[in-house]
Amino acid sequence: MSEITVGVVVFPGSNCDHDTQHALASFTGVKPVMLWHNDHDLQGAQAIVLPGGFSYGDYLRAGAIARFSPIMQEVIEFAHKGYPVLGICNGFQVLLESGLLEGALSRNRDKKFLCCQTTIRAVNGSTMFTSLYPEDEVLRIPIAHGEGNYFAPPEVIESLEEHNQVVFKYTDAEGRITDEANPNGSAKNIAGIINRQGNVLGLMPHPERASDKQLGSLDGRGLFESLFLHLAGV
Amino acid sequence: MPYIAKINVTLRQSILDVQGKAVDHALKNLGYRSAGSTRIGKYIEVTINEEQRSEAERIANEIAQKLLSNPVMENYSLELEEINS
C-alpha cells in the first residue's frame, strides 16, 4: 500500500499540532507533514488537518485571523476541489470563519473554559470521516474549549439536518441526546458538521486526544482510520 | 487627508452574551438593582490613509464586514472622522 501524506497546518498559537502529528504517525503507512501558516505549499498532502489551539491568540475572534493566513488560500482551494479537510476545535473555528462550513461558535453557555471527557455519537456514519463508526456507538472523546457553543440561524440548522450534515452530537453515557449532555449550549447538541459536498469536517471534540491507550480512550482512532480507508480507496 | 474609522462590534441579540451575564451578576452583588441586561462588544479604531471620504468609507465597511466582525453572530456600526494634522 502506498504511503498516505497528511498535512497538519501550524499557525502561531496552535498547540495540538504535535498531538495530531503523533496520532497520525501511529497509523502504519501514514506520513504527517507539518505546514507552516506562512507557506503556500501543501507538500503533496492528500488530506489537511487544521489542529486545535489558539491561533493568533484568539485575537479578535477565535480563528478570525488564521483564516487569512497565506496557507489558507491553498487549503480553501484544496477543499473546493473535493479533497478532505478536517478542522479540530480551533481548526473548526477557522473553517467556519473561512466560510468552508456554515455557522459560528460563541462562548460556552456557562461562561467556563471546559476541559473534560465528553461522550458523542457519529449521527451520520456515512461520511469519509465516520464510515467505521456505527451510529449507535457512544464515543468517549474529550473537549477543551471556551468557545464551542455552535450557533447558526434556524434555517441553516434546518438545512444542515435536512442534508445530513450534522455528523457528531453530544450525548449522555447511554447515547441519548439530552440537554444535560450538552456541555456548551450548542444548538441541537451539535459537536461537528460537514459541508454539503462531504469533504470538509469540523468538530469541537479532539479525536487526536483519544487515539492512544495511555490517554484513556482509543475512540478517536476510528475517525482517522475512516479517512485513511477512504484515501486508500478501500 | 487621513481618516479614523471608529468601529463598534456587538453580539446580535439572539446570541447569549456570557460576559454580559457575568457583569450583570456583579452589578447585582454591588446592589445596582436598576442596572442590567449588559451587552459587551468591541471598540476598534483603524486609520485609513485615503484622500476621498467615500473611498475611506468603502474600505472601512469592507474590513468591518470581512475581518472585524462575523456577520453570523455580530453586528457593527462605524463612524468616520477626518484627522486634522
Whether the model clears a pTM of 0.90, i.e. scores above it, the answer is yes
Cα torsion through A172, A114, A14, A149, rounded to 10: 70
pLDDT at residue B85, rounded to an integer? 67
Cell of A70: 497565506
The tally of domains found in chain B comes to: 1
Active-site residue flag, A116: no
pLDDT at residue B84, rounded to an integer? 83
pLDDT higher than threshold 60 for residue A1:
no
Delimit the domains of chain A by residue range.
4-231
pLDDT higher than threshold 70 for residue B76:
yes
Report whether A141 contacts A120 (CB < 8 A).
yes
Helix (H) or strand (E) holding A72: helix A70-80
CATH of the domain at B64: 3.30.1280.10
Active-site residue flag, A161: no
- The string of pLDDT tens digits covering residues B9-57 is 999 998 989 999 999 999 999 999 999 999 999 999 999 999 999 999 9
Interface touch B15/A64, C-beta < 8 Å? no
Tell me the chain B residues in contact with residue A111 when contact means C-beta distances shorter than 8 Å: 18-19, 21-22
A95 phi, psi to nearest 5 deg:
-65, -40
Of A16, A37, A89, A97, catalytic: A89
At position A210, the amino acid (one-letter code) is A
Could you tell me what percentage of chain A is helix, strand and coil, using 3-state DSSP and rounding each to the nearest 5?
A: 30, 25, 45
Report the C-alpha gap between A87 and A155 in whole angstroms.
23
* 3-state SS class at A181: coil
- Tell me the C-alpha to C-alpha distance, in Å, between residue A29 and each of A5, A32, A229, A230: 9, 10, 11, 14
pLDDT at residue B57, rounded to an integer? 97
Mean pLDDT for all residues in chain A: 97
Q: What is the DSSP string of B10-54?
A: EE-TTS--HHHHHHHHHHHHTT-TT-------EEEEEEE--SSHH
pLDDT at residue B1, rounded to an integer? 78
pLDDT at residue A2, rounded to an integer? 78
Active-site residue flag, A18: no
Report whether B82 contacts B52 (CB < 8 A).
no
Nearest by Cα to A187 from A159, A156, A152, A161: A152
- Tell me the C-alpha to C-alpha distance, in Å, between residue B83 and each of A96, A155, B2, B5, B62: 36, 44, 6, 10, 20
Q: What is the mean pLDDT of residues B71-83?
A: 96
Tell me the chain B residues in contact with residue A109 when contact means C-beta distances shorter than 8 Å: 16, 18
Q: Class assignment of domain A4-231?
A: alpha beta
Q: Which of A106, A111, A153 sits opposite B21 (nearest CB)?
A: A111
Report whether A29 contacts A1 (CB < 8 A).
yes
Q: Which residue has the higher pLDDT, B59 or B1?
A: B59
Report whether A47 contacts A79 (CB < 8 A).
no
**CB proximity B18 to A under 8 Å:** yes
pLDDT at residue A161, rounded to an integer? 97
Interface touch A111/B15, C-beta < 8 Å? no
- The string of pLDDT tens digits covering residues A166-215 is 999 999 999 999 999 999 999 999 999 999 999 999 999 999 999 999 99
Contacts of residue A89, Cβ cutoff 8 Å, sequence gap at least 6: A16, A51, A52, A53, A143, A144, A145, A148, A203, A204, A205, A206
ipTM confidence: 0.86
Q: What is the mean pLDDT of residues A95-123?
A: 96
Domain encompassing residue B42: 3-82
**CB proximity B64 to A under 8 Å:** no
